Structure 1
Amino acid sequence: MSDLGEITARLAALSDDELLAVLGTVTAGRPRLSWVHSAVVDATGLGHASSEGTVSPTTATPQAHDQEPSVGTSGQVGGLSPVPAVPVPPTGIPSGPEVGGYSPGGVPTFESVRDKVEQRFGTAQGMGELDRQTPAGRSTDEQWEAREKAARERLAQIRKSLHGNDVESNDP
């Protein structure tokens, strides 16, 4: 590797944006330097961008971070190009029309949820009305009414018998 003083001098000569780009590139994917990487990402204004979301579980991570570079590596830091900033819409400004009842973040809108509930309620109500129009539905309604009538008659009988017992016990 080249002289540490030379690398330090080259890094010191970079602008702040270029230095942040270099630091973000060299700390990406290094678990022990993740706190440095997140600080660099915050300083560049990119938010919490993480390279972990784009790595699939089958991707092999290199284990040679702490090893000395091979002889063929040039060791030049200035050869890296700064990473351009990703445009992020400012807060408070709508980012675009909601498509299909979902916000740009993938969250269902209140209107779409309300419409689904109303549609399901209407379908359930309609099914009940249709069921009552079929012969089986009519017979069920008739059975229900017959049971209700029988229950009312039995209750009236019980009340009548209780009132009859009260009158008999008061007449000694």
Structure 2
Amino acid sequence: MSDANKELAVLLAQLPDAELAAVVEQATDGRAGLAALHAVAASVAATVGHAPQAIDVTPDTQLTAARPLPETPGAFGQVGGGPAVSGTVVPPAGMPVTGDIGGYSDSGVPTFESVRDKVEQRYGTARGMGELDQQTPVGRSVEEQWDARAKAARERLEKIRKSVHGNDTE
């Protein structure tokens, strides 16, 4: 880089962003090889220090007065056609009608029966898992270890009792 280019670079570096972008825009105007740089400099010069421009997004077609709604189609099954459905649940014929639907009362509180059923189901699942665990090799070894520790604890307790009773007689 020559001394003149260095001096020019120092002077350009001292300019505010908006002025530097304007200088680059003017310097690249009409140069086909620097068209991309010119476009960027022009957009930066337009936006730096200014509020963003509001873009008009109104539709090209103007809405006329209120249009009438199309008539409801007959039996074509299109959206908006057919009878309106109410929001109430109707149980099938032959099913007993109670206020408790799905284990909840009308106010949303779980019923005693539904809570009991859930507890019994969880208890049964836990008990079944325990039985399955005992049938695996790992489960059997854990049970054998438990039994061995219990036997060792009983023997140790018996030894302590004998030593205590032996000291009482003397």
Which bin holds the TM-score, normalised by the shorter protein? 0.3 to 0.5
**TM-score with structure 1 setting the length:** 0.39
TM-score by length of 2: 0.40
